[in-house]
Chain A
Amino acid sequence: MSTIIACFKWVVDEAYIRRNSSGSLDFSSVDFKISEYDRNAIEEAVRLRDDHGGTVIAMTVGTPEAAKGVKDALSRGADQACFIADEAFSDLEPSLTAAFMAEVIRGRFADYSLILCGEGSGDLYAQQVGPALAEYLEIPCVSYVQKVSLRGEVLVAERRVEEGIEVVEARLPALVTVCPDVNVPRIPGVRDTLGASKKPVMTLGRADLVFSGGPFLRTVSLTAAPMDRSCERFPADSTGIRSFVDALQKKGVIP
């Protein structure tokens, strides 16, 4: 096994988002974290490396503030990191994230054999970066994966699909997007965190990239989803229960 690339996104920890009275979102006191499913991707990369050898490179595209996320990813067992950072990279749309990563991977990590991504990010959950990146690199993409194994130069992946589990094979190099049940990500120990600073990080900026495409999407507004509750009370007697059932039927909750 040569190089395994684990992609991750440094996202807002949703627990810290506040809603202003106007319905707008307040991000002033938010904390950040590695997107949940991306932790699974890193964990899986590290597990595969431990079983088959090779090197795990944790890769992210983001603003310079995501440096903490790079350290976090390294504390989770990645050997090196590649940090594609620019002030302009906040709220980057998936097509651009994928394009930048594809360019860097092609140019600097061409010997990779496997790329792992989380199924979707914790903030937007667009599920685009993985498949788009595979498309740019012209390699197979296997999504919704809950189990990964390697047989020589062949990837064997179990995909969770509606009707059951589909087992697929793909020749390496390939890209896999993982579901949360693929593994239980570790909680890094103190030494893991302290050791992360000593691992090599390749930092690239916008100026290092030649890709010249622009965004296809424009965010018009961002507001909290209203969840109005009608809060009706029904007494706990037979009449009350009957009117409760009527009310549920009227709202179409039950047939």
Chain B
Amino acid sequence: MNFNITEEQELIRNNMREFAAKHVEPLAAEIDENSRHPAELFQKLAEGDWMGIPIPEEYGGAGADYLTHIIAVEELSRSCASTGFTLSIHVGIASMLVLLFGTEEQKKQYLAPMARGENLGAFVLTEPGAGTDIMAATTTAQADGEHYILNGTKIFISNGPTAGTYLVFGWTDKSAGRRGMSAFIIPRDTPGMTPGRHFQKMGLRSSQTSEVVFKDCRVPRENLLGAEGAGMTMAMTGFDHGRIGIAAQCVGIIQAALDESLRYSKERVQFGSPISRQQAISFMMADMATELSAARFLTRHAAWLKDQGLPFSKEAAMAKLYSSEAAMRQTVKAVQIQGGYGYCKGAKVERLMRDAKITEIYEGTSEAQRMVISANILR
């Protein structure tokens, strides 16, 4: 049994740590406050090949494994969970789905620019009436000769306002049930597809979220991703990959909560000594460090299974479930440790706590993860 990451992974982690300290940490509070997409930061990430780590070099990526990408997301999220998430969904779902299911032509035309960081990917599935219950989706993709015509409204689409490449899911044959949904690669500015305005959110504020509306949007047949009717299966595969990314984002959040708690508790003096000497506080941090390790091992294990070509759906769900709930628990504690100071704007822990909440909701709620895990163990 080997728990070590490779020398390359360690160096890459250290480089991302340095990158994040230099370029991300100084921006994080401002982009949160202004709910701004830091395009200049993504330009720098692209220059360092961070935007397509697990994508083969022939398709514009760095050609490393998935675990390396996961380690980078973790380190990036430690400085800014929003930026970590944007990278995660761009690589883990949008790019991975084109890599796994795209034709050679699609990989050259759409995957390579994404992997080079020339544009962002978006995963366009959720609808106002279809969250966990994907079958309740109503967006249709009607075949029309060499085209499909898409109609419907998608909601809570991450990278919606900023993406260049949209992976859109709609019914090609509603009567076929789970086998009736298909996926399409739709480039930005395709007539009939309108990304809506960015939503103001509680946390993860610099990640851009919007509606995407389809009104008689004509998409050529060659933009169909995978087989017609394979949309649902591909969406699930996308979730499996993406969930490890969310878990890594959560590990970054917990690590940041611990960093902040250690720093603050050693400096803050009450009753004549630093509060880190109070058992009530030190035990909170002991739990934080323990849950951090557990989350990190679950997350890296899921990524490792993926890299070995082994099944990882259950483990990805476990990693996402545990890490997101631990992130919520521990960021609440981190605010508690900093008291009134931690509750005020400008305290990093305040942002971490707001950022943590969404991780229990998106890319499958905690309840949805439990559905996946229980279905796996009850088989």
Q: Which residues of A contact B (CB under 8 A)?
A: 31, 33, 67-68, 71-72, 75, 187-194, 196-197
Contact = CB atoms under 8 A, between A and B. Distances in A.
Contacts of B31: none
Given A71-B7, A193-B11, A187 B50 contact: no
B8 A187 contact: no
B366 to A, nearest CB: 32
Interface string B64-83: 10001000100000000000
Given A33-B14, A194-B63, A194-B64, A189 B8 contact: no
A189 B10 contact: no
B19 to A, nearest CB: 5
Interface in B1-17: 7-8, 10-12, 14-15
B7 A187 contact: no
B50 A190 contact: yes
B92 to A, nearest CB: 16
6 contacts: A33-B14, A68-B11, A188-B48, A189-B47, A189-B62, A193-B15
Given A68-B7, A71-B7, A187-B48, A193 B12 contact: yes
A33 B18 CA distance: 12
Contacts of A190: 12, 15, 48-50, 53, 62, 64, 68, 72
A133 B8 CA distance: 31
B88 to A, nearest CB: 15
Given A187-B19, A190-B53, A190-B62, A72 B48 contact: no
A75 B49 CA distance: 13
A189 B62 CA distance: 9
Contacts of B14: 31, 33
Nearest to A33: B14
B11 A71 contact: yes
Nearest to A67: B7
Nearest to A68: B7
Contacts of B379: none
Contacts of B72: 190
Nearest to B47: A189
Given A68-B7, A194-B8, A188 B62 contact: no
CB-based closest 9 A-B pairs: A189-B48, A190-B62, A190-B49, A189-B49, A191-B49, A193-B11, A68-B7, A187-B19, A191-B62
B11 A188 contact: yes
Given A188-B11, A190-B62, 18 more contacts: A31-B14, A68-B7, A71-B8, A187-B15, A187-B19, A187-B48, A188-B48, A189-B48, A189-B49, A189-B50, A189-B62, A190-B15, A190-B72, A191-B57, A193-B8, A193-B15, A194-B63, A196-B8
Contacts of B8: 71, 193-194, 196-197
Contacts of A71: 7-8, 11
Given A190-B53, A190-B68, A75 B11 contact: yes
A202 to B, nearest CB: 18
A58 to B, nearest CB: 14
Contact of B10 (A68, A187, A191, A194): A68
Contacts of B62: 189-191, 194
Contacts of B49: 189-192
A187 B57 CA distance: 20
B72 to A, nearest CB: 8
A187 B11 contact: no
Nearest to B18: A187
Nearest to B57: A191
A192 B57 CA distance: 13
B363 to A, nearest CB: 24
A251 B15 CA distance: 44
Contacts of A67: 7
A187 B50 CA distance: 12
Contacts of B15: 75, 187-190, 193
Contacts of A33: 14
Contacts of A194: 8, 62-64
Nearest to B52: A190
